[in-house]
Every structure is written in structure tokens, then in C-alpha cells.
Structure 1
Amino acid sequence: MNAFCFRSRSVFGVAVIAVAVLLVAVSGCGSPKKQREYAVPHSLCGIPVNHNELAPFMPAGKKLTIRKKVPDSLSWVCQVRIDSRVAVEIRQMWLTSSSTAYFVGGQADSRLDREAEGGRFLYSGWEAFGKTRRCTHRKLPGSHIFTAFQMRSSDHRDADAMRHLIIGYTNAVEDTAICKEGRSFA
């Protein structure tokens, strides 16, 4: 092998290495991955939630705001917003039905494929619905508080986490004054 071939191969090798290093450096200059700059809450509108199970569903963003709306005396909605987007929506509603499936029927985009406790809880990887056992409205015989937990701006799917979230949340609702006293939300 002559000296010219050896030199051109080594110059070529150095050039290839230099280009590879440059590509790696440039690829690191892309837009930085968005981070979560807020703390994941331990309660939503006064009801405790499992922070660890909620966290994977929470999107990146800077500011978390929680707003409770009471559209009528028999229901309320808790919206969790990250920056300007709704991330989580939780509902409680008094109904005179014995079926969680009936409550779910009022939710337009629900696609539930799992159930727990004989249908008391219905859920999927991103939403869940439940029925309290010990909440009866004093003016609505046979009524119960039904609960809904829906992830609105997350691509994360975890049916097991949703099952745990709705069961824990619904059990916590049973410990509220509204449930124990059987009164309206407004």
C-alpha cells in the first residue's frame, strides 16, 4: 500500500468522524423537551387523589389551575387546566339510577372496556366512572352520587391507574359532608 492511499484513508476517516460528531452535536440543539413546571396536586376540588397515579397523565406546562363549576344543584365539574388546556375533568352528579352504565351513557365520547366490582366502576386507559355506595340525597330517594374522571390532554393510557384513581376518588367522595348529609352541591 502506498503512502498516498494510506494518507487519503486516514484523512477520509478523520472527516467521517468529524461529520459524525457534528451531527450528534447539532441533533442536541433541537427544541428542548417540554417539562412539567408545576406540582402535581394531591387533591382536586377538595377531594384527595393519588398523586403518583395522576402524575403520568399530566402534561408538560407551566401553570396549573383548578376550577370548580356548579352548573346546577345536583352536579359539579372540577377542571384542571395546564396553561390554557383542560388536562383533567372530574364530575360528581346525583342520579336516581342504580347503574354506572346509565351515568356513562350521558358522556358523549366514552369508550370503556373494563369494569370492577360488578359494574360499579367502568373504565378504560384514560377515563373512569363510579358510583358511591353510601351517598343518598335526602330529597331524592334512591339517588347516589356518581363520579367521573376523564383525562383530556394526555396521550398516556393506563387502565390500571384509572381503576385505582376512580376507586380511591369515589371512596373519598363518600367521606364528604355532601354525601354524609345527603344534600345538594349548591
Structure 2
Amino acid sequence: MAATALLALGTLAGCSTPEPPPKEYATPTSLCGVPIDPALLDPLLPASGRKAVVKDSFPELKGGSDCTVVVDDSTDLSAITTWRELGTSVREIAAGQPYVRLDERISADLRYSWGDKGAVSKVDCPEPAETRRKGTQQLFVYVFVGNEGRANEAAMKKLILAYADAVSKSAECRGG
């Protein structure tokens, strides 16, 4: 009987799913040229992989930025900064996203919205980036996970708050 139990355990152990390979890549320290704590990205990126790079998605984009974190040739996280007409609400931005539902949670002050796969926030710039924007446009940031990226509502909220704050101190807000 004991031999049967040991045989059964050995069979079960042989059928277990293999552990994913260990994470070999270094977590990026910036998104779209804006410094960000890699600990904020880690819970949203794949648990394993060999190489991570941040790529500009549309380098020709004027008045904003769009980049992706690519782990082993898979786009796993995207970050976007964009200017919208003054008066545009986070709710409007969140509801208008085709791939990720961002209007699941909205802050009491209506400044940011988040879900398990993405988030959007207004960015408070100390000065308008360009004279043409003065009084007419508002800066927003978006972050989305994709492909092998991991959905995580609490991590997404932390990331969007930190990223919006970092962008408020960046060249995009200073007009450079």
C-alpha cells in the first residue's frame, strides 16, 4: 500500500506543470524618457523573460509621447502622454478606450481612473508646455498592460499616480 502511494505521488510529481523560466531582464527605469521606479512596473510585467526594452511607438508624435515596454518581442505595457482640449474629463478619456476598460474606478477628485489592465490621469503641469496650449489644453497620461503583462488593479493605481507626477516634472510640462 505504501509503495502504491509513493508511486502515485511520483506520477503526480512527474505530471506537474513546469515552473516558468526565471526573470532575466532588468525592469526599465523610465517610460517614454520619464524616470519611474522599476518596483512600480515589476508587478505589471511578465514574471519571466530574457530581455526588456522601452521603444518609442510613434517617434514622430508631436505634443505627447507613446512608448511600449517589450519583453522578449511581446508588447507588455504601453504608456502614452497626450494633450486634449481643456474641459476633457478623465471619465471621457477612460470611456473612450477601445482595448481596456479604464472607468472601473474613478478618484473622488476625478483626476484619475484605473482598472486592472490600465489607468489614465490628468497631469498638472506647473506651466503650459507651449503658448498655444495655454488655457486651451490639458495633459493626460495613460498606461495599459497587454500580451503577457499582468493585470493588477492596485499596482496600476500606484503606477498611474507616480507616472502622472513624474510627467508633471518632465520636459513635456516645461515646454522642452
* TM-score between both structures, scaled by the size of structure 1: 0.79
Q: For 2:92 and 2:59, locate their aligned partners in 1 and report how far apart those are by CA, in whole Å.
A: 21
By how many angstroms is 1:86 displaced?
0.4
Change (3 A) 1:18 1:114: closer
Tell me which of 79, 99, 110 is aligned to 2:100. 110
Native 8 Å contact 1:57 1:154 kept in 2: no
Q: For 1:109 and 1:138, locate their aligned partners in 2 and report how far apart those are by CA, in whole Å.
A: 33
Q: In the alignment, what sits opposite 2:133? A: 140
Tell me which of 40, 62, 66 is aligned to 2:50. 62
Alignment of 1:10-89 (within 5 A): 13-27=1-15, 31-59=18-46, 60-68=48-56, 69-89=58-78
1:148-184 Cα shifts (integer Å, max 9, x gaps): 0111134633322211111110111011122112x5x
Change (3 A) 1:45 1:144: same
When Rg is computed on C-alpha atoms for both structures, the one with the higher figure is 1
Task: Report runs of 4+ in structure 1 exceeding 6 Å deviation.
Answer: none
Which amino acid is the alignment partner of residue 82 of structure 2? Answer: M
Which amino acid is the alignment partner of residue 51 of structure 2? Answer: K
Change (3 A) 1:114 1:154: farther
Q: Matched residue pairs, number?
A: 169
Q: For 2:105 and 2:68, locate their aligned partners in 1 and report how far apart those are by CA, in whole Å.
A: 24
Matched residue SS, 1:70: coil
Which amino acid is the alignment partner of residue 72 of structure 2? Answer: D
Matched residue SS, 2:133: coil
More helix per residue: 1 or 2?
A: 1
Which residues of structure 2 form unaligned runs of 5+? none
Change (3 A) 1:48 1:66: same
By how many angstroms is 1:127 displaced?
0.5
1:43-87 Cα shifts (integer Å, max 9, x gaps): 223212232232121112111111113343123211111111100
Root mean square deviation of aligned Cα:
2.2
By how many angstroms is 1:22 displaced?
3.0
Native 8 Å contact 1:121 1:129 kept in 2: yes
* TM-score between both structures, scaled by the size of structure 2: 0.83
Native 8 Å contact 2:117 2:153 kept in 1: yes
Q: In the alignment, what sits opposite 1:153? A: 147
Among all aligned residue pairs of Structure 1 and Structure 2, give the percentage whose two residues are the same amino acid: 23
Q: Which moved more, 1:83-92 or 1:103-112?
A: 103-112
Q: Which moved more, 1:19-28 or 1:113-122?
A: 19-28
